[in-house]
Amino acid sequence: MSDLPRKAITRTAKLAALPLGFAGRATWGLGKRIGGRPAEIVAREMQQRTAEQMFKVLGELKGGAMKLGQAMSVFESALPEEIAKPYRAALTKLQEAAPPMPTGTVHAALEERLGPEWQELFLEFEDKPAAAASIGQVHRAVWHDGRQVAVKVQYPGAGQALLSDLGQLSRFARVLGPLVPGMDIKPLIAELRDRVAEELDYELEAESQRAHVAEYAEDTEIVVPEVVHQGDQVLITEWLEGIPLSEVIAEGRPEERDRAGQLLARFLFSGASRTGLLHADPHPGNFRLLTGDAPDGPPEQWKLGVLDFGSVDRLPGGLPEPIGIALRMALEGDAAGVYDLMRDEGFVKPTIELDPDALLEFLLPMLEPAQVEAFHFERQWIRGQAARMADRGSPVYELGNQLNLPPAYLLIHRVTLSTIGVLCQLGATVRLRDELEAWVTGFAAEADETDEPAEADETAEADESGETDRDAEADGEAEDAEVPAERAAEDAETSA
């Protein structure tokens, strides 16, 4: 493979193999069952074969195909164990590695982008890639001043491949649903398309990373590597030596899992508040646990290293204040207040009438992590939430089907769900409420309760104008996305 397969007909054929392959395995499975093999064994074999093919096709194509695989991988904790288990290993591979570009292609790309004397910029350069992502791969090297660096080289043809892949995958979305039951794939693909231009622009990524470096330079818990050099389709940053978050997920001790989870939650909520940027690609491959000079020391001393700032959501005022206010009112049992705010923000369309108490009952189980001092995230909990919202016969499904996800909140919603998915993969006990109180405007109760009504009125006016700006910015970029429960149930029905 010389570089990204760029011919549209070739990539389309490979992507088409996913749903066609699934259909073929379903026929194969039916034949096995007719032949007398137990249904459970046949199902497991089908799932394993599907996972293997998914990794092979998405990993080889890289581009948008691999990006979809990475995005889906953080949600596997919400799936029933009998479905999740065969996918887990294959999807996790997409978080850390994929088939690399040949050395000759890498050298040619660096010569084109850094000049014919590019090798003189490095004291050492490792031809074998240290990691491969959706639009580029990373090589370890030593910069000419002696610094250990990570050299990210964009795949030739990555932009065209990304747009082509995601366009094709969007058409296949309904058929792809059974590959990962419970996943709302079509809105996910639409949102990923919106991030393509930014991720291809390494200058923009370097700016986002520098903003985080400046803000977290003196931080004792979060580390962001400095940008060493940024060129056309090449980004060089300081190397971060640490334990991949995926290793902690796979084999970490409880105290290591808890520390990693707390730091991840802290970065999620503090980042938007401190930098005005929300890191929008929270899959485990983008995080390292730094143990410093004491690798065997207590995890309480670990730091979280954050990589890859190609995908960010620009939130100059931090997370929208209505999020914090709605969370606080929900935990206080203010059903009418939550309903009015969600209607104002567009989560309830003007043509829809809902029972405020029923809406609060729908929301509270999902807010359980914020109701207690420390919450233990686990796969069983998130699976229960997914099953509750996907049950077509339940009032919860009917209510969820009437809710709407405004475009301005789409990326925030995905990042939050993805982070919760990673926390459940970790099985971490996290003081989530502490992070909400510290970083999410509107969540913490005002110290002077007598001033609340006037302040709330002022906030509502500010939020109203702010939402108009966000909606105007999002208008034309994304259609209103329905909540995941509706398509999750449809996908499950397709699978059945």
Among 30-39, 271-280, 466-475, which stretch is predicted with the lowest mean pLDDT? 30-39
86-133 pLDDT, tens digit each: 555 555 555 444 557 889 989 999 999 999 999 999 999 999 999 876
Instruction: Indicate whether 120 and 220 sit together in one domain.
Output: yes
Tokens of 37: 């093999």
Domain for residue 166, yes or no? no
Whether the predicted pLDDT of 301 surpasses 70: yes
Distances (CA, A) of 448 to 199, 434, 444, 453: 44, 20, 12, 11
314 sits in which H/E element: strand 312-314
Tokens of 245: 């978050």
- Please say whether the beta carbons of 385 and 358 come within 8 A: no
Instruction: Indicate whether 211 and 109 sit together in one domain.
Output: yes
Q: Round to whole Å and give the CA distance between 302 and 242.
A: 10
Average pLDDT on 426-444 reads: 96
What residues make up the domain containing 434?
242-496
Angle at 32 between CA 28 and CA 36, to 5 degrees: 165
Number of domains into which the chain is organized: 3
Top pLDDT among 72 and 430 is at 430
Top pLDDT among 278 and 393 is at 278
Final residue of a domain: which of 183, 206, 238? 238
Among 139-148, 166-175, 343-352, which stretch is predicted with the lowest mean pLDDT? 166-175
Domain for residue 322, yes or no? yes
Domain for residue 406, yes or no? yes
Instruction: Indicate whether 110 and 46 sit together in one domain.
Output: no
DSSP class of residue 78 equals G
Q: Round to whole Å and give the CA distance between 47 and 82.
A: 9
Instruction: Indicate whether 336 and 385 sit together in one domain.
Output: yes
- Please say whether the beta carbons of 306 and 223 come within 8 A: yes
Domain for residue 1, yes or no? no
The pLDDT of residue 283 is 85
Of 71, 77, 64, the closest CA to residue 281 belongs to 71
Of 259, 256, 258, 235, the closest CA to residue 247 belongs to 256
Instruction: Indicate whether 225 and 343 sit together in one domain.
Output: no
Average pLDDT on 327-341 reads: 97
Instruction: Indicate whether 491 and 440 sit together in one domain.
Output: yes
Top pLDDT among 350 and 6 is at 350
Instruction: Indicate whether 315 and 212 sit together in one domain.
Output: no
Top pLDDT among 274 and 63 is at 274
Domain for residue 135, yes or no? yes
Instruction: Indicate whether 207 and 190 sit together in one domain.
Output: no
Distances (CA, A) of 148 to 205, 232, 241, 242, 350: 20, 21, 10, 13, 56
Instruction: Indicate whether 411 and 436 sit together in one domain.
Output: yes
The pLDDT of residue 39 is 45
Domain for residue 164, yes or no? no
Domain for residue 165, yes or no? no
Query: For residue 142, what is the domain's CATH number?
Result: 3.30.200
Final residue of a domain: which of 206, 221, 238? 238
CA 96 to chain centre: 14
Instruction: Indicate whether 399 and 254 sit together in one domain.
Output: yes
Instruction: Indicate whether 49 and 180 sit together in one domain.
Output: yes
Instruction: Indicate whether 333 and 469 sit together in one domain.
Output: yes
The pLDDT of residue 490 is 42
Of 91, 20, 29, 17, the closest CA to residue 59 belongs to 91
Domain for residue 2, yes or no? no
Among 32-41, 43-52, 58-67, 246-255, which stretch is predicted with the lowest mean pLDDT? 32-41
Tokens of 410: 């789409």
The pLDDT of residue 471 is 47
- Please say whether the beta carbons of 239 and 320 come within 8 A: no
**Which residues, listed in sequence order, are joined to residue 53 by a DSSP beta bridge?**
none
**Close Cβ partners of 192 (under 8 Å, ≥ 6 residues apart):** 64, 67, 68, 71, 166
